[in-house]
Amino acid sequence: MANVLDKIFVHKKEELGSTKRKAPLSEIKGRIGQQADAQDIRQALEPGSQYRIIAEIKKRTPFKGELRPDFDGLSIARDYSQNGAAAISVLTESNYFGGSIEFLSQVREAVKTPLLRKDFIFDPYQVYESRAFGGDFFLLIATWLDKNQLEDLLELGKEIGMTALVETHCERDMEKAFSAGGFLLGINNRDLKTGKTDLDISRRLIKMAKMVPDNLLVCESGIHSAKEIQELEQLGAQAFLIGESLMKADSIPEKLAELTGNKSKER
């Protein structure tokens, strides 16, 4: 029986054919020329006086359903940008997460904060598309991609001035990311096949990731408090991708201030 991750990629493959017919690659490449250069994500996530949060915008998930009854994506983007997010993750997958590539472009027009195009990427067209619609970096899921795919997509990203966040969930994924030459490494505490989260994933894999120097480590999912961020940072994580706890917060600015360690700042 296919798991959720497999189902998402199957639907993504079906959808991509239609997308390519509507907007040929030549058109997408032409649109890239209209974009400013991609921002340097390593610089954006460098250690500073507060925790580096990649704050995520997502309307729903296949595991939790709708996350925010009063969802207003552009308002959320502005809240993130104005309240200390180092970068913003934009879910663009439509069938399961309620996003769109057009929304990435709208967020790009609304804020100057670096943007992660978060989707289920497996085809070069999607990398070009990420840049064409204003993304500064993009997600690659090592669990689903083989080493050659990772290498090719990472290299294409470099050619057009983009960094890939290579997401891992186990030792095998981490070895694949090392072999492919990724330096921006995500450790996803959520099993995308089941939806279960476990911070012990990061506690275990951070040690492995630190074996290769100059990696930039991003802990993803299942993080709800500054205390958890502090623990993971002490272990070696340098940035934190957080979505659900922000999306469900009564006050996004207050929750983001708490998570960045900037709670005392006047607003």
Could you give the residue numbers annotated as active site?
A: 56, 58, 118, 167, 188, 220-221
The candidate with the shortest Cα–Cα distance to 219, out of 170, 145, 151, 168, is 168
Note whether 95 and 8 are within 8 A (CB): yes
Residues 6+ apart with CB under 8 A from 256: 53, 55, 79, 80, 83, 84, 85, 246
Note whether 239 and 218 are within 8 A (CB): yes
CB atoms near residue 150 (< 10 Å): 22
How many helices (H) and strands (E) are present in the chain, helices listed first?
A: 12, 10
CB atoms near residue 45 (< 10 Å): 22
State the residue for tokens 């996530």.
45
State the residue for tokens 């894999």.
205
β strands within the chain, DSSP E: 53-57, 60-61, 65-66, 87-91, 115-118, 137-141, 163-168, 184-188, 216-220, 239-242
